[in-house]
Amino acid sequence: MSEVRRLDVLRAIVEDYVQSREPVGSKTLLDRHDLGVSAATIRNDMAALEDEGLIAAPHTSSGRVPTEKGYRRFVDEISEIKPLSRAERDAINKIMDTSHDLEEMLHSTVRLLARLTNQVAMIQVPQYDTASLRHIELVGLGPNQVLLVLIASNGTVDQRVLHSNQGFTDESLAAMKVGILSSYAGYQLSELDALLGAGTADQAGMEQDLHGEILHALREMAHSATEQRILMAGTANLARVGGDFPLSITPVLEALEEQVVLLKLFSELEADSRGVSVSIGTETHIGELSDAAVVATSYGRDTRNKLGVLGPTRMNYPSSMASVRAVARYLSKILAN
């Protein structure tokens, strides 16, 4: 019996089941795929695949569905991740190029990834640990807009557009920049968060002058840079595939609400030679996600920072892997510049 042919049969079963959510029989394989063998041969191959635990019969019908082990074998046999289409690449460029600051860019990234894959998209917000404030820039963008740029000692750049009713000049912005740097340059971002917190908390909910707004935004940027958290989009996509979770979708949703659980999962994922990590079912080691799969990769200079998608094990793995890797590369390129 040909091992190559058996893998072709497994690949066809996975692809058909992902598309239709219906158990796949030998007649369906004959009709949809050019396997070049008889129905009897395909039935023999399916029996062998079932003996290996790669496919299973969900009920008494003649159709078969992939098992967790079968999905794993299918993913391992993907030798090359196909590039995204021109339209998909253009969509990535268009959305990311219009983001004005890091937080907005990360939100745009996760929404884009959810749309590309029809899965739940997740991104780990970069954490800069012991990085310190090296420099800031204040640039007037118009009569009521100021661009605040934070540059950390590790080379990370974050920026935010502030809206103010208070007038300003280039000279006043330059003076504010000098004053802020003389007070706070060199402090670690975690220290900066605490220092600015005391001075800006009492202004919360009150109208602030431009200097106060800048300090408040600087504090928020410093806090975001040192906080471990994950941004998410596309949770509603799970509702569309609720039938893929045998008992209930509730445990998956509860796991998604636990930032600590997701951060631990991301920390344990390691990319393979294709640049992505795929964790299927029980491989996540999280009971609530035993019927789910995660495709993830690192982005930026720090390999601890991950982005990825979560969905049912009946996932379009080649497409999800391509989208995750492509979005990560685009994001890394933008952050590097």
**Residue 64 Cα distances to 8, 57, 61, 317, angstroms:** 15, 5, 8, 19
Specify the residue for token string 């029996």: 47
On the question of pLDDT at 195 being above 50, the answer is yes
CA separation for the pair 13, 313 (Å, rounded): 14
188 DSSP assignment = B
The 10s digit of each residue's pLDDT in 316-335 is: 999 999 999 999 998 888 88
Q: Are residues 120 and 241 in the same domain?
A: yes
The 10s digit of each residue's pLDDT in 86-119 is: 888 887 877 766 666 677 888 889 999 999 999 9
Q: Are residues 66 and 197 in the same domain?
A: no
- The answer to whether residue 81 is domain-embedded is no
Q: Given 226, 259, 294, which residue is the final one in a domain?
A: 226
Q: Are residues 122 and 141 in the same domain?
A: no
Q: In this predicted structure, what is the pLDDT of residue 206?
A: 37
Instruction: Tell me the residue range of the domain where 52 lies.
Output: 3-76
Q: Are residues 218 and 287 in the same domain?
A: no
Q: Are residues 206 and 241 in the same domain?
A: no
The 10s digit of each residue's pLDDT in 284-321 is: 999 999 999 999 999 988 888 899 999 999 999 999 99
Q: Are residues 110 and 232 in the same domain?
A: yes
Which helix (H) or strand (E) segment holds residue 323: the answer is: helix 317-336
Query: The CATH number of the domain where 219 resides is what?
Result: 3.30.390.10
Q: In this predicted structure, what is the pLDDT of residue 149?
A: 92
On the question of pLDDT at 201 being above 60, the answer is no
On the question of pLDDT at 228 being above 90, the answer is no
Q: Are residues 116 and 258 in the same domain?
A: yes
Query: The CATH number of the domain where 32 resides is what?
Result: 1.10.10.10
Going by pLDDT thresholds of 50, 70 and 90, the confidence category of residue 205 is: very low
pTM score of the predicted model: 0.77
- The answer to whether residue 294 is domain-embedded is yes
- Total domains in the chain come to 3
- The answer to whether residue 163 is domain-embedded is yes
With contact defined as beta carbons under 8 Å apart, do 33 and 13 qualify? no
- The answer to whether residue 296 is domain-embedded is yes
- The answer to whether residue 324 is domain-embedded is yes
> Which amino acid type is present at position 298?
S
25 DSSP assignment = -
